[in-house]
Every structure is written in C-alpha cells, then in structure tokens.
Amino acid sequence: MGRDIANPLLLPEIRQMIAEKDEQGLSEIMNELHPASIAEFAEGLTDEETWELLSHGGEHRQALVFPFFSPEKEVELVEGIGREQMSKLLEAMPHDDRVDLLKQCDEGTVDSLLPLIAKADREDIRRLLTFPEHQAGSVMTTDYATLPPDITVQESLNRLRQQASERETIYYVYVVDDERHLIGFISLRDLVLAKPTAIIRDIMTEDIVSVRADQDQEDVARQMARFDFLAIPVVDDQNRIIGIVTHDDVLDVLQEEATEDIARQGGSEPLGRPYLSVSITHLIRSRIVWLCMLAVAATLTVNVLSIFESTLEQVVTLSLFIPLLIGVGGNAGAQSATTIVRALATEEVSSSDLFRVILREARVGFLLGGTLATLAFVVVWLAFDMNMALILSLSLIAICTLGSLVGALMPILANRVGIDPAVVSAPFVTTIVDATGLIVYFLIARLVLGI
C-alpha cells in the first residue's frame, strides 16, 4: 500500500521491537523499507537502538541506509562503534557518500579508520578527499560502470550484472578504451533495447558531454539540468574518466547554492549547516561582518544629513519623510537587485545584457516612482502643503529610478569582475540608495523652497 512518509506512529513499535529483540520484525524493517524511511525512524532512536536495528540488515543494506542520516547522527554513530565494523561499512558505502561522512569526522577518527579499510577503497577515499569544496571532484563518485567498446550487448549485460551491486548507477554506462579514455556512452535502456549480438562500438553515442574535476559544481549542476542527464562523467585533462556526478547530487548542489544566494541577499554568510544545529556564535559570526560593514556604510547617511543640517533646522517637517523615502528607495533597489541576481544565477541574463537591463530598469523605476508620486502628491498636499507635496513627489520619482538602476547595475558589474552577484546583496544596494537618495531629496527641497 502506498505510504507517503515514515509514519511517526510506527516509532514506538520499533522501539518495542528493539527492546523485545524481535528478530523477525526488525529484519523485515531493515530489508523491506526504503533506506530513507529507515534513516528517518532512526533519528528518533538512541545510538544503541539504531545499531541494534541496523544489525538486522547486511553490510550492504546498512551502507544504503547510512547516507540518509543527518550529518550529526552519522558522526555520532561512527564514533560509537568499533573501528573494525565501521571500516566494513565504509567499504560497502557509495564512494561519494563515505567521503562526505569522513569530511564531517575529526582527523583522529579518520586516521584510525583508514588503515583498516581495503587498499583500493582507501586510495579512492584519499583521492576524493583532495578535491576542494564546490568543485565537481568533491561531489563526484567513483563507483560508476564502464564497458570496453568491442564486446556484444549480451556480454555487456552479463558484465553489468556482475558490477551492478557495487555501482551507484548502471543506467548510464561509459565506454572506455584500455587507458580509460572516454570514447562513448550507452544507457541501460539502449542496451535492453539493442540486439543481443550488436557490438557496443556500433551502437554507443560518441557525442559525450563531460566535465572536468576542477569545474565549479554549480556549472556542472546546471549542465546536467539542461540536458536532463541522470549522470555526467568527470574526466581529467587527458579525457580519461575519473568519476561521475549523479542526479541526486545535482539536486543537493542546486539547493545548497540557492540557500547560499538567499543568505547573501539577506546580508549574511551562508551557515553551511541546518539552522538549528549551529551555535549562537556561528550565527553571530555569519552576520556580524556584514552588519558592521553595512552600519559603517550607513554612516554616510549621517554625513549627508550633517551637510543639510541647517536646512533641517529651518524645516523640521523635512525630517518626517526621511524613513519613508529611504524605505521606498531601498525596496525599489531590493526588488530589482533580487530579480537580477536570480536572473544571473539561472542564466536568463548575462553580463553582456548590461545596457538592455539598465534601460529596462530605468524605465521600470521611473514608472513605479511616477505611480507612487501621483498618490503621494494628493495625500501630502491635503495633510501638509503644496510645497511638501511637490518635494516628496519629485523625490519619489528620482529615488525609485535610482533604486532600480543601482539594484540592477551592482549585480551585473559584480558578475563582470568575477564577484558573486549575490554578495552585492539587497541590503548593500539599499545602503547606497539611502545616501544618494537623501542628497537628491534635500537638493530638491532646497530648490522648491528656495533656501
């Protein structure tokens, strides 16, 4: 029967099964539920209970469940059991997931574990650990399936049957020559559909899209999304295959990048871990630098106002509209900045569209400002006087245009010089628009009031 998610009502039952050492029940759970569901149940169990449950499945089954634990749970479990047992589990785990796990553990744990792992796996782990974060190499896995070009489809299927249990995916199979140069690609679907006597070389696709290990993971993810690939091969500078990135990693990468962009647009550094699992200090560190920089930038507004202090003394009413005006300017800037940052991220807009974008945003800002100005003119005229109405309306038009322009210009310029556009975030744009907007406001006021 179709279940939607791990049912929390089952948790007490599982605890009881563990307490009663119900061999059959536990073994059914371990072997028939989806690994992700088992991992979800286990988040509600103690580490001892979790190991008791896991022990009712083989190493292969345990290795499937493990990557679905939260990073914290994984590390706890690793530290809690014998090194011997853990090394067996690591040998059976998908190659990319076990490296992710070891990256979370402290060096002492890793150093004590590695010698117990079979040589080939150990070397594989060491190699994958060397790739810097955010590069394709750091998300790729090395348990992909390959075939030589000169065998039949029948023989290929036999070979895949032998490889399958150790491979993360056998849906995409890569054809390599004796030196592992990537020369072709064939899907399991094509293999199943092909004549059993056909030769791989004759039916493989030679137009392969591949990536390099040092390419940015976001580029790789976008490429896979564009082609709807299940996996993409990673090659070295000799075009030899060294790994693959799979569809589930792409999801993680794109989610992670969106989270980072959103954090930066809110003026804080990405946390890198789930919100509730980071310390208060970590939260403060992710925000304090930006907040200080923005506060220092905001002292510009104090300077601007100091220049116009005499005007303010003469007409105190002017100060009443300061928060409103800079609020509206900031909002207009934030609207265009977030739109353009996202359009750059999803490649709807590129740096070469600079003038087109500027022109659009200038018109949009002018028209938005014009609409607000019309409303404001009437209201302020009634509540204050004609002069204030005129000052405010003109200022709104100028500030909205300014906000939209700066909001669009900053991300594109940042992109051109190679800075992450998300860093030139909405609050940063806001601060610039605040200071310049105030200057415009007071210049208009002096002009209208003749002071």
Which residues within the stretch 140-169 sit at the binding site for a copy of itself (CB under 8 A)?
157, 160-161, 164-165
State how far the Cα of 239 lies from the Cα of 264, in Å rounded to an integer. 36
| DSSP letters spanning 381-418 | HHHS-HHHHHHHHHHHHHHHHHHHHHHHHHHHHHHHTT
Integer Cα distance of 153 and 156 in angstroms: 5
Q: With contacts defined by CB under 8 A, name the span among 9-17, 53-61, 112-120, 338-346 that binds a copy of itself.
A: 338-346
Residue 201 binds a copy of itself (CB under 8 A): no
**Pick from 19, 118, 283, 447: which binds a copy of itself (CB under 8 A)?**
283
Taking the least distance from each CB to a copy of itself, the nearer of 87 and 223 is: 223
Q: Is 315 in the site for a copy of itself (CB under 8 A)?
A: no
φ and ψ of 251, to 5 deg: -55, -50
216, β-bridge pairs: 135
- Cβ 265 to a copy of itself, closest distance in Å? 6
Q: Please state, in angstroms and as integers, the Cα–Cα distance from residue 131 to each residue in 127, 141, 433, following that order.
A: 8, 12, 41
Minimal distance, residue 108 CB to a copy of itself, in Å:
29
Q: How many CB atoms lie within 10 A of CB 275?
A: 7
Would you count residue 410 as binding a copy of itself (CB under 8 A)?
A: no
Q: Judged by CB, which is closer to a copy of itself: 16, or 205?
A: 205
Examine residue 57 and tell whether it contacts a copy of itself (CB under 8 A): no
Binding window for a copy of itself (CB under 8 A); candidates: 16-24, 49-57, 71-79, 273-281: 273-281
Stretch that binds a copy of itself, among 1-9, 54-62, 83-91, 125-133 (CB under 8 A): 1-9
- Minimum distance between the CB of residue 109 and a copy of itself, rounded to whole angstroms? 25
User: Which residue type, as a one-letter code, is found at position 64?
Assistant: L
Interaction residues for a copy of itself, span 424-443 (CB under 8 A): 426-427, 430-431, 434, 438
Neighbour-count burial of 122, counting CB atoms closer than 10 A to its CB (0-12 exposed, 13-18 middle, 19+ buried) = middle
Query: Is residue 358 near a copy of itself by the rule CB under 8 A?
Result: no
| Least distance to a copy of itself, CB of residue 450, Å | 21
Question: What minimum distance in Å lies between the beta carbon of 331 and a copy of itself?
Answer: 5
How many residues sit close enough to a copy of itself to count as binding (CB under 8 A)?
123
Residue 119 beta carbon to a copy of itself: minimum distance, rounded to whole angstroms: 27
Count of residues for the chain? 451
By the rule CB under 8 A, 320 interacts with a copy of itself: yes
Compute the least distance from the CB of residue 172 to a copy of itself, in Å: 10
What's the token pair of residue 387?
Answer: 């002069």
Closest separation in Å from C-beta 132 to a copy of itself: 20
- What is the CB neighbour count within 10 angstroms for residue 182? 21
337 contacts a copy of itself (rule: CB under 8 A)? yes
Among 93, 200, 364, 406, binds a copy of itself (CB under 8 A): 364
Distances (CA, A) of 7 to 13, 33, 46, 80, 130: 11, 12, 18, 27, 40
Q: What is the CA radius of gyration of the chain?
A: 30
Q: Is 262 in the site for a copy of itself (CB under 8 A)?
A: yes
Pairing of strands 211-212, 231-235: parallel
- Report the candidate in 160, 90, 78 with the shortest Cα–Cα distance to residue 120: 90
H-run or E-run covering 293? helix 280-307
Contact call for residue 37 and a copy of itself (CB under 8 A) = yes
Closest to a copy of itself by CB, 179 vs 228, is 228
Q: Is 250 in the site for a copy of itself (CB under 8 A)?
A: yes
Which residues have CB under 8 Å from 281's CB, separation 6+? none
Measured between alpha carbons, how far is 332 from 59 in angstroms, rounded to an integer? 57
